[in-house]
Amino acid sequence: MASEPHAVSAADASAADDGILATARRQLERAAALVDVDEAILERLRHPSRVHRVTIPFERDDGDVEIVTGYRAQHDSVRGPYKGGMRYHPDVTEDECVGLSMWMTWKCAVMDIPFGGAKGGVVVDPKTLSDDETERLTRRLAQELRTVVGPNHDIPAPDMGTGGREMAWFMDAYSMQEGETTPGVVTGKPPAVGGSYGREEAPGRSVAIVVREALDYYDRPLEGATVAVQGFGSVGANAARLLEEWGADVVAVSDVTGGVYDPDGLDVASIPTHQEEPEAVSRGDGDPVSNAELLALDVDVLVPAAVGNVLTADNAGAVRADLIVEGANGPTTARADEILEERGVPVVPDILANAGGVTVSYFEWLQDINRRSWPIERVREELETEMLGAWNEVAREFASADGVSWREAAYVVALSRLAAAHDARGLWP
């Protein structure tokens, strides 16, 4: 099953920009100035509740034992169990996990899903591991995290470098140790073991829904709108394919090796996704285009859906799209956000646009607890309802005050819900 491409390490931001944790904190401060939240609650939200660091030994195929480090950052659980992905990437750091866990808290609150925020990762390059090594690593990771995860406590999911396969192994290892099959301990599993239909396409589907709604907000037709999509993994490819189906002209797509561009629109359905055929996008019909060029194309909508920190102080001035909808987590640095705002380019944030992933994770968790699977039609219908609900809340906030960005509007919705929950629960003891 496909892994979900998301933000990469802080090291990828240009010198003028910050890493993920600094960006996340800066975004929080900007939004905090717009809402009436108790300073003590804000101070709690600036820090994770806990960060777990584990050492994971696993056997390589040649019999050698390798030791890698893993993290699980648990940010806030006032609205429900901690929730968020586990990534395998060589650049994973503790700070990155903390920043990403904060974004999960806001994402679940914007969607009004009864979960808090978490994120974890293992410092390893999954491309260097055989299938057997990945399995042994994942099972040992589940064992090391066994006391800190659980269906009512902290529920991991796929992220960069992980997918349904890893979630199934994690669930199995946890269940064997607990002595009972516990599908609700992770989401993003294959449907054969309690995964939800439609979970894999969900982040891309929510991006497409948000593009559609955002164009409508600005009185622009979706039919014939030109769209450039960076990243052709599960988020980018699903978003591009749906947008094409709904009448948009997807004019450019790319993967890590580069991309293709046709001003009259590509035949997106014929281009293999990164999972179907890795790094095949640039062989598609159309003129070759680099990732840097794609970000500067003159299009109606730009969807950065590959990795984080791609829109920076260095290139935000070159963006010619009329609208940006974030598919990846954290594709826009705080400095790039300011430049785009000054230039009047609206940026619809990740915590709303790609939230379809965690929303269908929530549906999956409900299905696991109820031991009853939903047909794909129901998943799509309920996702549409949840996305429209969240979109309307954020759009109302955006329209209510001059000079508020889409990101700030989404943060205001999230922070208000989090503050109300902290306030109602009070401080213990």
Q: Which of 124, 157, 207, 307 binds ligand GLU (CB under 6 A)?
A: 157
Which residue's CB is nearer to ligand GLU, number 2 or number 157? 157
CA distance 29 to 350: 18
Q: Is 127 a catalytic residue?
A: no
Q: Which of 117, 194, 349, 357 binds ligand GLU (CB under 6 A)?
A: 357
- Beta partners for residue 311, in sequence order: 332
φ/ψ region of 56 (left if φ > 0, alpha if ψ in -120 to 50, else beta) reads beta
Are 95 and 75 spatial neighbours (Cβ–Cβ below 8 Å)?
A: no
Q: Taking CB under 6 A as the rule, does residue 134 contact ligand GLU?
A: no
Least Cα distance to 215 among 206, 225, 204 occurs for: 225
Q: Taking CB under 6 A as the rule, does residue 6 contact ligand GLU?
A: yes
Task: Find where tokens 């189906």 sit.
Answer: 245
Least Cα distance to 290 among 240, 253, 315 occurs for: 253
Task: Find where tokens 């705002």 sit.
Answer: 341
Q: State the chain's maximal CA–CA distance in angstroms.
A: 63
Q: Taking CB under 6 A as the rule, does residue 358 contact ligand GLU?
A: yes
Q: Taking CB under 6 A as the rule, does residue 329 contact ligand GLU?
A: yes
**Closest distance of CB 150 from ligand GLU, Å:** 14
- Residue number of the CB atom closest to ligand GLU: 85
Q: Which of 1, 2, 3, 4 binds ligand GLU (CB under 6 A)?
A: 4
CA distance 251 to 253: 7
* Six token digits for residue 23: 């960006």
CA of 206: how far to CAs of 112, 345, 425, in Å?
15, 21, 31
| Binding footprint of ligand GLU, residue count (CB under 6 A) | 13
Q: Taking CB under 6 A as the rule, does residue 286 contact ligand GLU?
A: no
Q: Taking CB under 6 A as the rule, does residue 238 contact ligand GLU?
A: no
Draw the binding track, 186-225, toward ligand GLU (x: CB under 6 A; -: no contact). Answer: -xx-------------------------------------
**Closest distance of CB 317 from ligand GLU, Å:** 28
Draw the binding track, 76-105, toward ligand GLU (x: CB under 6 A; -: no contact). Answer: -------xxx--------------------
**Where does this chain touch ligand GLU (CB under 6 A) — which range of 137-145, 164-172, 355-363, 413-421?**
355-363
Which residue's CB is nearer to ligand GLU, number 225 or number 358? 358
Q: What are the strands of the beta sheet with 117-123, ordered from one edge?
A: 50-59, 65-76, 117-123, 82-89, 154-158
**Closest distance of CB 354 from ligand GLU, Å:** 6
DSSP H or E run through 377 = helix 376-400
Q: Which 370-429 positions form the footprint of ligand GLU (CB under 6 A)? A: none
* Six token digits for residue 410: 């989404």
- Beta partners for residue 120, in sequence order: 72, 86
Which residue's CB is nearer to ligand GLU, number 93 or number 282? 93
CA distance 335 to 256: 24
Could you list the active site residues?
119
* Site of interaction with ligand GLU (CB under 6 A): 4, 6, 83-85, 157, 159, 187-188, 329, 357-358, 361
